[in-house]
Amino acid sequence: MSQLNIEEEIENSAGGEFERTPVPKSSWKSWKSFLGMYAGEHAAGTEFIIGPLFLTAGVSAFDLIIGLLLGNLMAVLSWRYLTSEIAVKYRLTLYYHLEKICGRKLVIGYNLANGVLFCFLAGAMITVSATAVGIPFDMEMPKLTDTLPNGITWVLIVLVIGTVISLIAAKGFNTVSKAANWMSPIIVIAFLACGIVALQQLGVSSFSEFWAIWGEGGEPFPGQLKYTFWHVVFWSWFANGAMHIGMSDLSVFRFAKNANSGWTTAAGMYVGHYMAWIAAALLYAVYLKSPEAQGLLANGEAPSVAPGPLANNAIGVFGIITVVLAGWTTANPTIYRAGLAFQAIMPKVSTFWVTIIAGTVATIAGLFPAFAMKLLDFVAFYGFILAPIGAIIVFEHFFADKFGIQRFYAEKTGLKFNMAVLIAWAGTFAVFYFISLQFNVFLSFLTLPAWISCGLVFMLLSKYFQKKNLV
């Protein structure tokens, strides 16, 4: 059987999501599909957690408001000029693109790590939704320091939510995109409403009073790291580092008509990662003034960050519904991406079933509140691990001719294991993670140096190995 026929057979068995072929022109989508998806995904469940966590990190008003402006701008530029640029040229998933560079055997390990980490992130969003669904059942909410499930009610609610989200994601990109387009306007309005109501509850009537909510910042809550301006900038830039400089969203933008669709990520960054984070922080500021929160702080404990009750306190039932939908709009595309990662490992298994597998892992992760309650740390670690592999794609795309190396070397030579990729990725991870641990350096500060180093090492090693193989 020819290679072309093999690819067609795999594509048909996979359910037509073009996992191992370029997306044909007939399936390209306008910028509107991506606008709704990014606005929905990033004005979503994580925002209800991240906004309050910034308060627990003792940020000042300037650090938060100006730091987020700059960090989110850098993220949008990364999506537009790196991710979408490469995506529309090749129109391949991240996983198949990497396979052409790394070789089949090596990319399996990366796909597994990528898929599992995506599942953990989706699990945190299931946790978020569960805090809203549990309100009518008088469920005990997870604490900031909780790791394990806190009761049978929690377990049952998480299992039901995870099942529904997994089924939606398993329907493919079109269903994920449509779900986001439908839900995102509701969620955006709700975040805005939450922010306005919280300002009223805080008695804010001027910009100076709004600024004073954070003021010059303060000491972090027990067990939390103190955030400065640069912590906010680099953390917000690389919060989605795996998606933009890590190239995971090649799998999304391969459907775009042109690279300008990358600008639609601004809807996610400035509606979600700006307005929504600040609105969620305001909700938490209201809760911190309550007798319950004050009592916990007096005892040296960190008050709970449970999105459901926070939104319910501001806008009632609409808030509960919004938190549920917000969790879904993040978990849906995240589980879809995880399914594609597993698809690359098991190419003949249908998209539906690999996504169900991803959803099952995410649901199990959602049972453990630690993924949500330690979201700032988890997201920084997740981006640090996955972002550098994107440098291999970026550096090959832009600098292959300058370095004199062959693009898609593994595919063209039949190489199953590209040692240049393994050394570059594992080596830079080991060096920079050691620096973080040994010298207590904030991990997001090291993501960009690790990314650049990985790309450079890969190019130099590729030049050496390719030249050696030609001799």
pLDDT in tens, the chain (471 residues): 333 332 333 333 334 567 778 888 888 888 888 887 787 677 777 788 888 888 888 999 999 999 999 999 999 999 999 999 999 999 998 888 998 999 888 888 888 888 888 888 888 888 888 888 888 887 877 877 777 887 888 899 889 988 887 887 777 656 666 666 677 788 888 889 999 999 999 999 999 999 999 989 888 887 778 999 999 999 999 998 988 999 989 988 999 999 999 999 998 899 889 998 999 899 899 988 888 888 878 887 777 777 888 888 888 888 888 888 777 777 777 787 788 778 777 777 777 888 888 888 989 998 988 887 777 888 888 889 989 999 999 999 999 999 999 999 999 888 888 999 999 999 999 999 999 999 999 999 999 999 999 999 999 999 998 887 654
- Scan for tokens 């879809």, then name that residue: 336
CA 265 to chain centre: 13
What pLDDT is recorded for position 130? 86
The pair of three-digit structure tokens given for residue 261, joined into one six-digit string: 């669709």
What pLDDT is recorded for position 305? 77
Query: Do residues 438 and 378 lie in contact, with contact meaning Cβ atoms separated by under 8 Å?
Result: no
Q: DSSP letter at 257?
A: S
Spatial separation of the C-alpha atoms in residues 292 and 296, rounded to whole Å: 6
Spatial separation of the C-alpha atoms in residues 117 and 244, rounded to whole Å: 16
Spatial separation of the C-alpha atoms in residues 77 and 70, rounded to whole Å: 11
Spatial separation of the C-alpha atoms in residues 285 and 45, rounded to whole Å: 18
3-class DSSP state for residue 29?
Answer: strand
Q: Cα angle vertex 185, ends 179, 187, to 5°?
A: 85
Q: How far apart are the first and last CA of the chain?
A: 32
CA-wise closest residue to 74 among 236, 232, 228: 236
The pair of three-digit structure tokens given for residue 68, joined into one six-digit string: 């987020």
Phi, psi of 138 (to 5 degrees): 55, 40
What pLDDT is recorded for position 431? 96
Domains along the chain with CATH numbers: 30-375 (1.10.4160.10)
CA-wise closest residue to 189 among 83, 322, 298: 322
The pair of three-digit structure tokens given for residue 20, joined into one six-digit string: 């191992």
What pLDDT is recorded for position 245? 96
Spatial separation of the C-alpha atoms in residues 294 and 44, rounded to whole Å: 28
